[in-house]
Chains A and B, each alone.
Chain A
Amino acid sequence: MTPESEPIQSGPEAPEAPAGAYIYDLKAAPNRQVELPKTVPLPGLQAYLADQKAALEADEAKWQKQLADYEAKLQALPEGKEAPKPPVRAAAKKDDYDMKTPVPSAPQDADLLRLVELLGERMEEAFEQAGELTCQVAKEHLLEALRICREDKQLKYEMLADEAATHYPAAEGFAFSVVYHLTSLSRHKRLRLRILIPEGFEPESACAVYRNADWLEREIFDMDGIRFAHHPDMVRILCPDDWEAHPLRKEYPVVGWGQRDIDFREDRSGRLARIAQEKAGNLGINLKVPKAE
């Protein structure tokens, strides 16, 4: 028979029991911790060429190092031992997969060249990849670029097919890229315009040029938090109107911050709240599951 267990100590050693209704610290929950991406996967011609050059140089440096090591080994070779095999330059791996990764290349398409010519300095980069034309525009001159694409007789991109935003937390100088996909129905061509914007910048709304940017930009605002200037109706579209935070940002965990995790389960008898209180009260600290020792 066990001796009478002592009641829970209250005193300096025992942790503070919460006074009122317990408030979960959801953001500290272990399954809500995210790892932010460390790279900036923004395709671009300059970046690609720089990467290629760096890779070539690294390869060359590695080969030189191999040669130097071999030389060093030859030098430090004790008498009587055979010379180790000389290093062979590793050839590029050949595989017969049906896969050829598309790489960016300089613009050759007439449309892209014309656009580059018309935009001049307002354009930052233009390239072709995977058969698609991309043009990166300076963020202040977006509307002009869109207007040119729509109204120029040789370009005639009548429809805005899609507008999407991507969050690049690891990037310097910008935080989001907003991409506009334009379709020319009459000429059967597609074009992509891209702008890079820092946190807090409000790009001009494309509603002035393409009316369907209305809901597309509302969705971008809802998911990424980018406000668009001169938009007719900038409210959330997919999430409820009183939602906090923007889900598609990289720091938002997939399971969410728990805003609606408990609400929708109607706790009429109060039993769930009592269970939570018991758990929290007994532990006395925020709801971290104690690790098994």
Chain B
Amino acid sequence: MFDATDFMEINMGPQHPSTHGVLRLKLKLSGETVMACRPVIGYLHRGVEKICENKTFFQTQVWTDRMDYCSAVANNLGWAESVEKLFGITVPRRAQYIRTMLAEYNRLASHLIWLATHALDIGAMTVFLYAFREREQILDLFESFCGARLTTTAFRIGGLREDFPPGFEKQARAFLDRFPSCIEEYEILLTENRIWKKRTIGVAKLNAEDAIALGVTGPVLRAAGVPFDIRKAFPYAAYAEMDFEVPTRLEADTYARYQVRLEEMKQSARIIRQCLDGLPEGPTMAKLPKILRSEVNEIYHATESPKGELGYYLVGEKGSLNPYRFHVRAPGFANLQALPHMVEGGLVADIIAAIGTLDVVLGEIDR
């Protein structure tokens, strides 16, 4: 029916202002309609899994920061919990609370990046700078806790390296007090904006059945109507003691995901406040031998990173300092697999909205 001249084959990326990293999309366009879309990844593959097989369990944390570089603390939390599960270590309660708090700050930071870049791609450049203003304050908090803004290496096996510094709690509370007005600002600019709604309602739909079949998790799945959140389903850290809601929508389009993530930001602020208010006293580090040698064991532990289910699959060898196999289940990997499904049949401009709404970070996809 179509001959070769009817389609234009165009390449989007790997260098492109809005593919969020080095993602290459091979597109077949018929005019403005996308006939086929094939993502090509691997441009940021650094061999993290192979490298970690040669490092001690402690040293592998550093590589987890750099996979999903926008939410390093969430990666660190997943790693710490996985290694602790492998060794059967119990972490003191105070450390769990602080870890939860930092992970939720990280969720805020990651969602702020998502909002900034997504809005920028659709054209609202002011929201980009407003969101980064808030993110600066969160990064300041991280810097005062662990010395680094982005690649935090925040946790240790068995707890935390040290308690938080003086002034941290005041800074944290000051941020929380300011935050609701900031979210209101974003909502004023975007939520009822006619142009924003036209660009996002009905765009890049992914319904629940397809999402589950494609292994998509996180806000994308929740916007499709499936109320699955690992913090509630398989509680870890201090989430079992926290009171929060899991926002879900039914429309499964870009606007629904936008609303889900904004709502998640509000819930994160709620969790942080509960952590700060109910922080128990006690040690922040478990009693452990100086050198950890593993036994023959394999575990899979998943946590809810801002992008979805982040899983670590570790295999231990008897008496070894290094993991025998270190595999990371990146949420972006499955989410990006759903991109062709969401985009084929739509317009070129919707691809940008789709990539933004999936919150794709190539660092964790390529590892």
Contacts and interface: CB of A to CB of B under 8 A. Distances in A.
Interface of A: 37, 39, 41-43, 47-48, 51, 95-102, 129-132, 134, 158-162, 164, 166, 179, 181, 183, 185, 188, 190, 192, 210-212, 214-216, 223, 236-240, 247-248, 252, 254
15 contacts: A41-B317, A43-B298, A47-B296, A96-B287, A98-B89, A99-B87, A99-B88, A101-B87, A101-B297, A102-B297, A160-B215, A190-B302, A212-B216, A238-B367, A247-B50
B212 interface: yes
B234 A166 contact: no
Given A164-B327, A239-B42, 6 more contacts: A97-B286, A181-B300, A190-B234, A190-B302, A211-B214, A240-B42
Contact of A254 (B50, B86, B91): B50
Contact of B316 (A37, A41, A215): A41
Interface residues of B, number: 56
A161 B302 contact: yes
B160 to A, nearest CB: 14
A78 B283 CA distance: 58
Interface stretch (B173-181, B238-246, B265-273, B307-315): B307-315
A151 to B, nearest CB: 13
Contacts of B54: 254
Contacts, number: 144
Nearest to A240: B42
Given A162-B313, A188-B234, A215-B333, A130 B213 contact: no
Contacts of B26: none
B296 A41 contact: yes
A240 to B, nearest CB: 7
A42 B288 CA distance: 25
Interface in B276-313: 286-289, 295-300, 302, 309, 311, 313
Nearest to B295: A101
A247 B47 CA distance: 8
A207 to B, nearest CB: 10
Nearest to B227: A185
B85 A130 contact: yes
A160 B41 CA distance: 21
Contact of A210 (B213, B217, B316, B325): B213
B187 to A, nearest CB: 30
A161 B297 contact: no
Contact of A39 (B91, B289, B317, B366): B317
Nearest to A211: B213
